[in-house]
């Protein structure tokens, strides 16, 4: 390869990598964002949450409250007006549950004039979690899934049915506010309902699929967990859905 071709190839690789880094993804999506008449709330979850939130806070006209939930050791400083929390990954822990409860409280009582800027990246399934079953049981089920050989879609099909925020439930908690989601995908094919178990996106999986996965991997589930697998997730039923804007980046 001659020098000119090598230089062009290096430039293409360098610019391709830069285009999908968390910083650039957030900056590109928010560069034309204009604050609404109401409040702007920032919620970020995932291993890249701090990095994404830092850029968002710099780009946005204002942030009227916010929270970052990321993996231990991934908070790299303060972000003005945003609480930064570290929690368990790949198994959620008490800090995951406490921080997610704070996020839900932050979006409680919003109006149609308000906007939730929701930044999501890999690891969000463990980090952004408030379970419908006892925390210890969810941790056990997560460990069973991790040891079973289940793929990420199978894992998240189970996990979203055991959660108060997955499967579109976080978007419902934000109603009637607008939800602007920026998603850094770590799932092949960018299925938005599966990235971090889709907290703000309609669930494409079914109860029958969840039950089949539980049977396939012989999961040990309580009666409560088994009943939850039989229930539809939040945005599958016909009802008014919040406005959700997505940018999926592989």
Q: Which residue has the higher pLDDT, 44 or 11?
A: 44
d(CA 199, CA 52): 17
Sign of the four-CA dihedral 151, 156, 157, 161: positive
Q: What is the DSSP letter of 163?
A: B
- Phi, psi angle pair for 184, to nearest 5°: -100, 105
Residues with Cβ within 8 Å of 14's Cβ and at least 6 positions away in sequence, in order, are none
Q: Helix, strand or coil for residue 32?
A: coil
Q: Which helix (DSSP H) or strand (DSSP E) does residue 52 occupy?
A: helix 49-59
Average pLDDT over the chain, rounded to an integer: 86
Could you report the per-residue pLDDT of 191-225, keeping only the tens digit for each? 777 777 889 888 888 999 999 999 999 999 999 99
Q: Which fold has domain 38-249?
A: Rossmann fold (3.40.50)
Could you report the per-residue pLDDT of 81-127, keeping only the tens digit for each? 999 999 999 999 999 999 999 999 999 999 999 999 999 988 999 99
Q: In the predicted model, is pLDDT for residue 171 greater than 70?
A: yes
Q: What is the dihedral of CA 51, 183, 113, 111, to 10 degrees?
A: -100
């Amino acid at each position: 390869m001659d020098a000119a071709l090598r230089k062009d190839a290096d430039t293409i690789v360098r610019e391709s990598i830069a285009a999908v880094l968390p910083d650039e993804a957030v900056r590109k999506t928010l560069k034309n964002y204009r604050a609404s008449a109401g409040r702007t709330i920032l919620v970020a979850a995932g291993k890249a949450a701090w990095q994404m939130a830092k850029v968002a806070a710099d780009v946005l006209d204002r942030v009227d409250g916010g929270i970052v939930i990321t993996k231990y050791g991934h908070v790299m400083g303060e972000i003005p007006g945003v609480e930064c929390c570290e929690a368990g990954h790949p198994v959620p822990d008490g800090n995951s549950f406490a921080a997610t409860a704070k996020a839900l409280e932050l979006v409680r009582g919003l109006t149609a004039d308000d906007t939730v800027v929701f930044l999501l990246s890999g690891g969000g399934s463990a980090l952004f979690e408030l379970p419908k079953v006892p925390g210890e049981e969810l941790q056990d089920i997560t460990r069973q899934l991790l040891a079973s050989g289940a793929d990420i879609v199978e894992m998240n099909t189970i996990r979203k049915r055991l959660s108060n925020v997955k499967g579109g439930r976080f978007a419902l908690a934000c109603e009637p506010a607008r939800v602007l989601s920026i998603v850094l995908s770590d799932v092949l094919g960018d299925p938005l309902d599966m990235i971090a178990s889709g907290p703000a996106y309609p669930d494409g999986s079914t109860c029958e699929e969840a039950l089949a996965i539980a049977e396939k991997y012989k999961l040990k589930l309580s009666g409560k967990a088994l009943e939850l697998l039989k229930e539809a997730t939040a945005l599958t039923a016909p009802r008014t859905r919040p406005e959700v804007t997505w940018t999926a980046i592989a």
